[in-house]
Amino acid sequence: MRQTRRRGNLLLQLRGAAGPAAARRARGRDDTPRPGGGALAPSFSFDLARLSSDDKIIGAATLVLFISLFLPWFGYAGQSVDGLWHGFEYLTLIVAVAIVAYLVLRAGFERLPFGAGLPHELLLIAATGFNFILVLIGFLAKPSVTFLFLSASASWDFGAYISLIAAIVAVAAAVLPVVRARAR
């Protein structure tokens, strides 16, 4: 009787502390439902070999673009502003993070656990092309100041040049493989 009571208290403690799943495991039965109908989720194992050389170039150029958005883009009279001075460049920042995250997931999983909806090449062309267009607009839209009849325009700073070059490299690395494949 005493032994039965201890066993019952142990089961109650397990149920209270860790829930019904822990109690089932304590009794030797683990019938806990798993996501995907019992199949184990794919494990993440980062391996750069899963990425093509073009993917690596796109990832590196996008990281450079991300960093260069925080560098000085325009300067005037000793003052400078970064690339995020143009509010729409926050979209470039978000897309850059998405590109790098997507490439990290592709390097980490043999097969992505979700469907991207678009072919890999088209997805990268669209994302890097979008970033290139926004960076080009930001590069060409220099801030200027007009006071009465006097007008002064800011000059480009090194961050603008780095951003433009990084965006060109990323979109070229995305487009060239597709162009080469169609030429064959």
Tens digits of residue pLDDT in 50-82:
999 999 999 999 999 999 999 998 888 778 888
**Torsion 20-21-27-31 (CA) sign:** positive
Query: Which pLDDT score is estimated for 84?
Result: 87
Encode burial over 148-172: b for 16+ CB neighbours within 10 A, e otherwise: eeeeeebeebebbebbbebbbbbbb
pLDDT at 30: 47
Amino acid 111: pLDDT: 80
CA 9 and chain centroid, separation: 49
Parts of the chain with a pLDDT under 50: 1, 4, 10-12, 14-15, 24, 28-31
pLDDT value for 29: 47
Answering whether pTM is above 0.75, one says no
CA nearest neighbour of 26 among 12, 47, 41:
12
Quote the pLDDT of residue 75: 84
Predicted pLDDT of residue 73: 87
| pLDDT attached to residue 112 | 78
Q: What's residue 25's pLDDT?
A: 52
